[in-house]
Structure 1
Amino acid sequence: MARNRGRIGIIVPSSNTNLEPDCALLTPPGITLHFTRVGGYDVDGIPDGEEMRHFASQSLSAALDLLTPADVDFIAYGCTSATLASGPEFDQRFQAEITAKTGLPAVTAAGALVEALSTLEVSRIAFTSPYVAQLNLESIAFLSECGIEVVNHVGVGRDISSREQGLLTPDDAYELGRRADHSQAEALVISCTDFRALEALTALERDLDKPVVTSNQALMYASCVRLGLDTSAIKAGGRLFVEHSPKARD
């Protein structure tokens, strides 16, 4: 298979073990993925809003210097909570700074969630994540500023570390999704790039009969939009990929 249709560069938090395999499941033929990792947070600590804002403030220069020599066409920033905790204005500046430093288009996972919901034409959602309660509320405030109403939300019910988030199972994601769902929600959002939510997406869309958006799915969809790629055959991407292929929108 030819490898000449595009290269996506992805910045991954150092403890994240689920973003890369999810992206592999969502990659169109001929596209290659190129990853670099960033630290600057306590992987065994509890990632609250303050910790995530501190993480978002870390320089990406070293990571970008390692990534851009791969001649990538696009850069995706793979931590949702870092910019959710920092607000939409920060998120937009953050994306713009990556572009200014590299000359390449960029998107954050948080920005990709908002774009995905816009594509689906939904404004009322149910929300869940493995975040601490305070960070969930900051995420809801971010979405509200973007015109998205969260009609119900649930968390895991305990504070867990960044490393523990990655150890949650697809069954955990499914259970949280079912608990978060609400009759007034037009879609379900499951946030966090280190949460195995993608593997629960198909079952949740079937059982809830509504679109489900996960951080990793949204991040890869936004990448495919920028590159004008056909996503309609990627069933793992759910309704967003199959029914809203960027190629079909041309």
Structure 2
Amino acid sequence: MYGSRARLGLIIPSSTTSEPEYTGAVPEDASVHVARMRLEDTATAETLREMLDSVERCGSLLATANVDAIGFACTVGSLLDGPETATDIERQLSRLTDGPAVATAAAVDRALETLGVHTVAVATPYIDDLNDLERAFLEACGYEVTAIDGLGLESDLAMGAQPPSRAARQARAVDTPDADCVFISCTNYRTFEIIDDLEADLGKPVVSSNQATLWNLLEVAGVEHDRPSLGTLFDRSL
């Protein structure tokens, strides 16, 4: 039976990256079951806020699959009003599914805390307004942002069309000597193939939105993870 070890629920926007990255990285005896929120092709604070109206519907649908844990896989969508946005989403989904829930922004915070990060350089595909929200969230969580760089993309589909090599170049360019870690934000920005090589090149941990969400989701589901190609984070436990 698919998911004999764990059934993982995943709520995503109009992402074309999350499903392939998650399904390709979970253990063979775990399965990923996806519900989609409606997001028009422009990712702005306004459209992301409208998208959150779909959380209850998606959580209720995934509850019918009796998932063991559920992940809300959207970075800025889970930090629009600061850290409390992710907390509220996790509580809502836990209530709907009667199980643990993880929202990307909170997962990133947990990942950075677990890695002992104090200062972070951030690469994103976003427009400046979303980068400002990202910076505010990280600072509210107690991190110093040494640099942040966005590609200026508004189209979610355009973000998903970027090759992992683009994320790697951007991460190398935004890194600063005083950053403890580089964070590559956006669950629609492809990163899984590049994390190990980036860590070797930069000499520091690299965290990405999907990586942190998957790590946290497997942790709360009680699934051991053995992913040597997903960076330092996957060597750590909460």
The Cα of 1:24 is off from its aligned counterpart by: 2.0
In structure 2, stretches of 5+ residues that fail to align are: none
1:140 is aligned with what amino acid? R
2:24 is matched with which residue? 25
Q: Which residue of 1 aligns with 2:5?
A: 5
- The 8 Å contact of residues 8 and 30 in structure 2, kept in 1 or not, is answered as yes
Equivalent position SS for 1:70: coil
2:227 pairs, out of 208, 211, 234, with 234
Match of 2:181 among 177, 187, 196: 187
TM-score, normalised to structure 1, is 0.90
TM-score after normalising by structure 2: 0.94
Alpha-carbon distance in 2 for matches of 1:192, 1:3? 26
Matched, 1:82 2:77: yes
Contact between 2:11 and 2:36, CA under 8 Å: does it hold in 1? yes
Instruction: Give the equivalent residue in structure 1 for 2:89.
Output: 94
Asked if structure 2 preserves the Cα contact closer than 8 Å seen for 1:212 and 1:238, the reply is yes
Do 1:26 and 1:217's aligned partners in 2 also have CA atoms closer than 8 Å?
no
Q: Distance in 1 between matches of 2:121 and 2:173?
A: 9
Give the residue type in structure 2 aligned to 1:239: T
Contact 1:25 1:236 in 2 (8 A): no
Q: C-alpha distance in 1, partners of 2:50/2:82?
A: 13
Asked whether the equivalents of residues 26 and 236 of structure 1 are also in contact (C-alpha less than 8 Å), the reply is no
Deviation at 1:17, TM superposition (A): 0.8
Q: CA RMSD in A?
A: 1.7
Of 203, 208, 219, the residue aligned with 1:214 is 208
- Tell me how far apart the structure 2 counterparts of residues 159 and 29 of structure 1 sit (CA, whole Å): 35
Aligned partners of 1:3 and 1:30 also within 8 Å: yes
Q: Partners in 2 of 1:127 and 1:31 — Cα distance?
A: 31
Identity of aligned residues (%): 34
Structural mapping, 1:141-220, within 5 Å? 141-156=136-151, 158-220=152-214
1:48-67 equivalences under 5 Å are 48-56=44-52, 58-67=53-62
- What is the CA-CA distance between 1:236 and the residue it aligns to? 2.4
Q: Give the distance between the partners of 2:55 and 2:18, measured in 1 at CA.
A: 18
Counting matched residue pairs gives: 238
Distance in 2 (alpha carbons) for counterparts of 1:201 and 1:167: 18
Counterpart Cα distance in 1 of 2:221 and 2:93: 17
Question: How many Å apart are 1:2 and its aligned residue?
Answer: 7.8
How far did residue 23 of structure 1 move? 0.7
For residue 62 of structure 1, report the CA deviation from its aligned partner. Answer: 2.4
- 2:122 maps to 1:127: yes
Does structure 1 conserve the Cα–Cα contact (< 8 Å) formed by 2:7 and 2:67?
yes
Report the Cα offset of residue 147 of structure 1: 0.8
Structure 1, unaligned stretches of length 5 or more? none
Structure 2 distance, partners of 1:210, 1:202, is 10
Matched, 1:42 2:40: yes
**Letter paired with 2:25:** L
Counterpart amino acid of residue 240 in structure 1: L
